[in-house]
Structure 1
Amino acid sequence: MSAPLELCCLLWANPGLTDDLARYEDTVLALVADHHGTVVSRAIGGGADGTPHEVQLFRFRDQAALDAYLADPRRSLLASERDHVVARTELFPVRLHG
């Protein structure tokens, strides 16, 4: 089995849609556990001066688990909602402590 995959996701909402972004994320983050993943932390920001509206930390069992989450048909059905509310996303590997 591969080593766990730890990730940070930064999200920016389209103008005026920060509450909609949070609701969308509430829905898709509920699917993470179905794919051997954990939302370690979720922080909501104000987006001031270009900072992200959300910062999320994840841990997945391995790359295959992340790929399965990203390809989940329930998540795919929400693609148009995501395109509407999310202006920008950055996802990158991190090493979590604690």
Structure 2
Amino acid sequence: MPLTLCVLLYPVDGQEDQLAAYEDEVLALIPEYGGTVLSRVRRVGGTTDQPYEVQLIEMPDQAAVDAYQADPRRSSVAGLRDQAIARTDVLPVAAVTGD
């Protein structure tokens, strides 16, 4: 059963460019696991207590999510992630229809 995930990313103060660079690199791996980045948007203005980037990602199933998260290429850039990202919230979501 496909999973849709809403990912909220909060940067370390002043590290927005590094957060974006890290996400560029790791999101490029999503298609290898059968997933799709449905949407990727960034905050305009706001404050540091708000997410800087919000992503909607669809994955085929939890096994694909687990495999993506365990990808050694992600692990190899974990230092960049730790420097740039203060907090990540991942929420399973579903589309709301007008019915």
**Which of residues 7, 11, 22 in structure 2 aligns to 1:9?**
7
Q: Which residue of 2 aligns with 1:19?
A: 17
Q: For 1:54 and 1:84, how far apart are their aligned partners in 2? A: 16
Aligned residue type for 1:40: L
Asked whether 1:95 is paired with 2:98, we answer no
Output the TM-score relative to the length of structure 2: 0.91
Alignment gaps of 5+ in structure 2: none
Matches within 5 A, 1:7-86: 7-46=5-44, 48-49=46-47, 50-86=49-85
Scaled by the length of structure 1, what TM-score is found?
0.92
| Percent of aligned pairs sharing the same letter | 51
Q: Deviation of residue 97 (structure 1)? A: 5.4
Cα-Cα RMSD? 1.4
Runs of 4+ that moved beyond 6 A: none
Structure 1: 5+ residue stretches without partners: none
Amino acid at match of 1:96: A
